[in-house]
Amino acid sequence: MENTKMSLTVKVLVGMALGIIVGLIINLGGLNAPGSFINDNIVNGLFHVVGKMFINALKMLVVPLVFFSLICGVCGIGDIKMLGRVGGKSFALYMMTTAIAIATAILIAASFGIGKGMEQTSDVVFAGKDSPPLTQVLIDIIPQNPFHAMANGDMLPLIFFSILLGISMLLVGRKAKGFVEGAEVANEIMMKMVTIVMSVAPYAVFALIAKSIAELGLDLLVSLTGYVLVLVGSLMIHLFVTLMIVLKVFSGLSPAVFLKKIRNAQIFAFSTASSNATIPVTMRTVTERMGVNNSVASFSVPFGATINMDGTAIMQGVATVFIANVYGVDLGITGYLTVILMSVLASIGTAGVPGVGLIMLSMVFTQVGLPIEGIGLILGVDRLMDMIRTAVNVSGDAVVSSIVAKSEGKMDLATYNDPDAGTVSTDGFHIDETVEKELADTVQQTHNQA
Ligand code: ASP
């Protein structure tokens, strides 16, 4: 049993490694030429279909999972005053870590002077998009129609509605007990569905990564070495140093245990390049692997996926320094402070989906007067950078969730310290024949009574 448990994480890692190797072979061997058999049938055929099906399966879980787990989270919190504290602490920590992330990134990038003396020309054109203004972000927190928010997967209005529903259930009191019990069962069912979807991850991760790497312009990675190295270096420093210090200082929890347990969520984030699509895995990881109580995780994880983007902020910092240097613009201290502020604010209103960092960047550039066309220079490597920064974004969400849970006494330390807790195992997929019969009888009886 132990072996089957272990093998899934190992299989996902193997899938990832094979994906990188196969992707590299296709890319470096020039097998991805448009019109070629491999390009049309394998990369854009098989890999594309398997990868997209998997991302759809993950996205399919997000809304019902967030909805039911938040209802249970609010009803199970035990002290409603804690809700405000959990919200306040999560928000403060998310903003703080994002600000630290971008400030360090700017310092590192500036001290390396990346982009100085580089050619300004790029044939790739980037059309900037506007991010919504903060006032609109605030207004949109309240959904006009909760079903519309659900259908669109809009996280903040969904969080708002689910919390309000949970509070209203508490206010209704005993009469709402049946509803609360129903939500609790629904939450458990959704968690089981997460496990089912995760169990096919090794193949899907392989397909997703092989496709991304096969399509990447690896020559671009070389011509942008300075930018890529400083960016990846800053992301790693944030993940392994800054976030781990924050975790240790604010919660006393072991960074080594954290880094080991967060791995699955990081791989999912890396392969999908979407914090939002990774919500089910992050939620499962922090609750079942790390012991964060659902009353904290049900809020902090989807909230973090939307407003917390440490990795994305780091990209903004490095890209700003890089492009300012390429264009010979001196932004000065005020310029860089504006960049920090804008990035932190922009992260609040933008969802964690692939490529959103570039849209935020165009907003930052408009503010500080850098040419939007400059973004075209880094466009070619952005997909790979997006994958890496999303893994950092998701790690930040889990760090904050753990700190908040620990500080509220909502963390099960035995689970955190148990290396095997919550590992994905297909053992739970066995359907008990007696239960199967009982449920069938129940359905039959209910049907006959009707
Ligand atoms: N893909 C990132 C995320 O989902 C956002 C970005 O940096 O583009 O968190």
Is the pTM of the predicted complex or chain greater than 0.75? yes
Per the listing, tokens 């392969």 go with 271
Tokens of 16: 């990832």
In a domain? residue 435: no
What is the total count of domains within the chain?
Answer: 1
In a domain? residue 210: yes
Output the DSSP codes for 412-439: -HHHHH-TTTT---GGGGPPPHHHHHHH
Whole-number pLDDT of residue 217: 66
User: pLDDT 10s per residue in the chain (450 long)?
Assistant: 344 455 677 888 999 999 999 999 998 888 888 888 999 999 999 999 999 999 999 999 999 999 999 999 999 888 888 899 999 999 999 999 999 999 999 999 999 988 887 766 655 556 655 656 778 878 999 999 999 999 998 989 999 999 999 999 999 999 999 999 999 999 999 999 999 999 999 999 999 999 988 988 677 777 788 999 999 999 999 999 999 999 999 999 999 999 999 999 999 999 999 999 999 999 999 999 999 999 999 999 999 999 999 999 999 999 999 999 998 888 889 999 999 998 888 888 778 889 889 988 988 888 888 988 888 889 888 889 999 999 999 999 999 999 999 999 999 999 999 998 888 776 667 888 888 888 889 888 888 886
Whole-number pLDDT of residue 393: 97
Distance 185 CA to ligand 1 centre (A): 32
In a domain? residue 436: no
Distance 375 CA to ligand 1 centre (A): 16
Ligand 1 near 305 CB (within 6 A): no
Nearest CA, atom 1, ligand 1: 354
In a domain? residue 312: yes
Residue 243: CB atoms within 10 Å: 25
Nearest CA, atom 6, ligand 1: 357
Indicate which atom in ligand 1 lies nearest the CA of residue 312.
7
Whole-number pLDDT of residue 3: 47
CA atoms of 406 and 401, how far apart (whole Å): 9
Per the listing, tokens 């922009």 go with 346
Distance 402 CA to ligand 1 centre (A): 21
The C-alpha torsion from 169 through 174 and 180 to 181, rounded to 10°, is: 180
Contact 92, 326 (CB under 8 A): no
Whole-number pLDDT of residue 52: 94
Contact 331, 373 (CB under 8 A): no
From residue 198, how far is each of 48, 166, 398 by CA, in Å? 18, 28, 18
Find the angle CA(420)-CA(308)-CA(231) to the nearest 5 degrees. 90
| Residue 193 burial by Cβ neighbours in a 10 Å radius (0-12, 13-18, 19+) | middle
User: Number of C-alpha atoms within 13 angstroms, CB side, residue 216?
Assistant: 25
Indicate which atom in ligand 1 lies nearest the CA of residue 275.
4
CA atoms of 139 and 149, how far apart (whole Å): 13
In a domain? residue 195: yes
In a domain? residue 449: no
Output the DSSP codes for 189-257: HHHHHHHHHHHTHHHHHHHHHHHHHHHS-HHHHHHTHHHHHHHHHHHHHIIIIIHHHHHHHHH---HHH
Whole-number pLDDT of residue 2: 42
Whole-number pLDDT of residue 45: 94
Ligand 1 near 309 CB (within 6 A): yes
Ligand 1 near 354 CB (within 6 A): yes
Nearest CA, atom 3, ligand 1: 352
Tokens of 54: 């998997």
In a domain? residue 371: yes
In a domain? residue 279: yes
Output the DSSP codes for 243-302: HHHHHHHHH---HHHHHHHTHHHHHHHHHH--HHHHHHHHHHIIIIIT-B-HHHHHHHHH
Identify the CATH number of the domain in which residue 150 sits.
Answer: 1.10.3860.10
Boundaries of domain holding 335: 2-424
DSSP for residue 76: T
Tell me which of 359, 386, 395 to substitute to probe ligand 1's pocket, judged by most ligand atoms within 8 Å of the beta carbon: 386
Ligand 1 near 275 CB (within 6 A): yes
